[in-house]
C-alpha cells in the first residue's frame, strides 16, 4: 500500500494538466495526542508534512512524527490522498483516504487505512473517520468529531473540539467508547503558527493513564509550526 501511495504522489507531482501548489510544514508539539490519547508517552514530538494541492480540488501528501509505544516503534509516517470542493459559498466538503504506517516497527504490524469524510460550514466542521482494521487489530474503529473556530482580535481564534471514538476495537482494548474534548487558542506571529489547547477525555478513572505510555489524562498541549 505504501508503494501505491508513493507511486500516486509521484504521478501527481509530474501531472501537467492542472496547476499545482506545493507546501511543507515543520512543527513541534509538547505531546502528540491522537483522539485524546498520547502517541509519545506524554513526551514532545517533532512533526512535518509535504503536500501537493491541485486547483481541481485533488490533493495528496505525507505526514510524519516520532512516536513511543514502549517497544521499537519510534516513527509514524502517514500517506493521504483526497478531494475537496465547495457546495455553496458557505458549505464545502472533503473526502480523503489515509494510510498510517510505522516504519521499523518490528514488534507489531500496525499499518492500517482509514476513510475520512468532512463537511464544513463557515467556521464549523463535522468529520467522520472509519477504519475497518484499526491499528491492524482485525477490529473496526470509528471516530466522529465536531470542531468550531471563532475569530478573535489580533488574528487569533478560539478553537473548540468534541470527538467520539467508538467501534469494536475499543471494546477489545477494554476502554469502550469514549469522548475527547479540547478548548484552545491559536494564531500566527512572525510567520509561525502557535496553538495551545487543553484536552479532556471521558475515559473511566480505572482506565485513565496519567503518565507514561498512552497517556489519556487531561493535559495542556502547546504546538508551534511553520509552513513554507
Query: CATH code at 82?
Result: 2.40.160.40
Residue 25 has pLDDT above 60, yes or no: yes
Phi, psi of 196 (to 5 degrees): -140, 130
CB 45 within 8 A of CB 65: yes
Task: Please give the span between the terminal C-alpha atoms of the chain, in angstroms, as a whole number.
Answer: 28
Which pLDDT score, from 0 to 100, does residue 15 have?
55
Residue 14 has pLDDT above 80, yes or no: no
Which pLDDT score, from 0 to 100, does residue 11 have?
54
The model's pLDDT over 135-164, given as tens digits with 9 standing for 90+, comes to 999 999 999 999 999 999 999 999 999 999
Other C-beta atoms closer than 10 Å to the C-beta of 38 total: 25
The stretch 73-82 carries a mean pLDDT of 97
pTM, to two decimals: 0.90
Task: Please state, in angstroms and rounded to a whole number, the distance separating the CA atoms of residues 75 and 63.
Answer: 11
Task: Please state, in angstroms and rounded to a whole number, the distance separating the CA atoms of residues 115 and 97.
Answer: 5
Which pLDDT score, from 0 to 100, does residue 85 have?
97
Average pLDDT value for the chain: 93
Residue 10 has pLDDT above 70, yes or no: no
The model's pLDDT over 112-122, given as tens digits with 9 standing for 90+, comes to 999 999 999 99
The model's pLDDT over 162-214, given as tens digits with 9 standing for 90+, comes to 999 999 999 888 788 999 999 999 999 999 999 999 999 999 888 899 999 99
Which pLDDT score, from 0 to 100, does residue 205 have?
87
Residue 6 has pLDDT above 70, yes or no: no
Which pLDDT score, from 0 to 100, does residue 16 have?
53
Which pLDDT score, from 0 to 100, does residue 19 have?
85
**C-alpha cell, 102:** 510505522
**C-alpha cell, 63:** 505526514
Q: Could you tell me the pLDDT band of residue 77, with boundaries at 50, 70 and 90?
A: very high
**SS3 per residue for the chain:** CHHHHHHHHHHHHCCCCCCEEEEEEEEEECCCEECCEECCCCCCEEEEEEEEEECCCEEEEEEEEECCCCCCCCEEEEEEEEEEEECCCCEEEEEEEEEEECCCCCCCCCCEEEEEEEEEECCEEEEEEEECCHHHCCCCEEEEEEEEEEEECCCEEEEEEEEEEECHHHHHCCCCCEEEEEEEEEEEECCEEEEEEEEEECCCHHHCCCCCCCCCCCEEEEEEEEEC
Which pLDDT score, from 0 to 100, does residue 174 have?
79
Which pLDDT score, from 0 to 100, does residue 56 have?
95
CB 140 within 8 A of CB 169: yes
CB 188 within 8 A of CB 27: no
| Domain assignment of residue 141, given as a range | 2-227
Domains held by the chain: number:
1
Residue 9 has pLDDT above 80, yes or no: no
Amino acid at each position: 500500500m505504501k508503494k501505491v501511495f508513493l507511486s500516486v504522489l509521484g504521478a501527481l507531482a509530474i501531472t501537467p494538466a492542472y496547476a499545482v501548489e506545493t507546501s511543507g510544514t515543520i512543527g513541534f508539539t509538547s505531546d502528540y495526542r491522537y483522539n485524546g490519547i498520547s502517541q509519545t508517552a506524554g513526551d514532545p514530538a517533532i512533526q512535518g508534512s509535504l503536500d501537493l494541492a491541485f486547483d481541481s480540488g485533488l490533493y495528496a501528501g505525507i505526514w510524519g512524527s516520532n512516536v513511543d509505544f514502549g517497544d521499537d516503534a519510534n516513527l509514524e509516517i502517514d500517506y493521504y490522498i483526497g478531494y475537496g470542493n465547495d457546495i455553496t459559498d458557505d458549505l464545502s466538503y472533503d473526502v480523503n483516504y489515509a494510510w498510517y504506517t510505522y516504519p521499523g516497527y518490528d514488534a507489531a504490524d500496525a499499518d492500517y487505512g482509514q476513510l475520512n469524510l468532512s463537511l464544513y460550514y463557515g467556521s464549523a466542521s463535522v468529520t467522520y473517520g472509519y477504519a475497518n482494521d484499526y491499528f491492524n487489530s482485525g477490529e473496526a474503529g470509528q471516530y466522529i468529531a465536531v470542531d468550531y473556530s471563532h475569530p478573535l482580535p489580533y488574528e487569533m481564534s478560539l478553537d473548540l473540539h468534541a470527538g467520539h471514538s467508538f467501534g469494536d476495537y475499543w471494546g477489545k482494548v477494554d476502554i469502550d467508547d469514549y469522548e475527547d474534548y479540547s478548548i484552545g487558542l491559536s494564531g500566527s506571529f512572525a510567520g509561525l503558527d502557535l496553538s495551545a489547547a487543553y484536552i479532556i477525555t471521558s475515559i473511566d478513572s480505572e482506565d485513565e493513564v496519567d503518565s507514561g505510555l498512552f497517556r489519556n489524562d487531561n493535559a495542556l498541549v502547546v504546538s508551534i509550526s511553520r509552513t513554507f
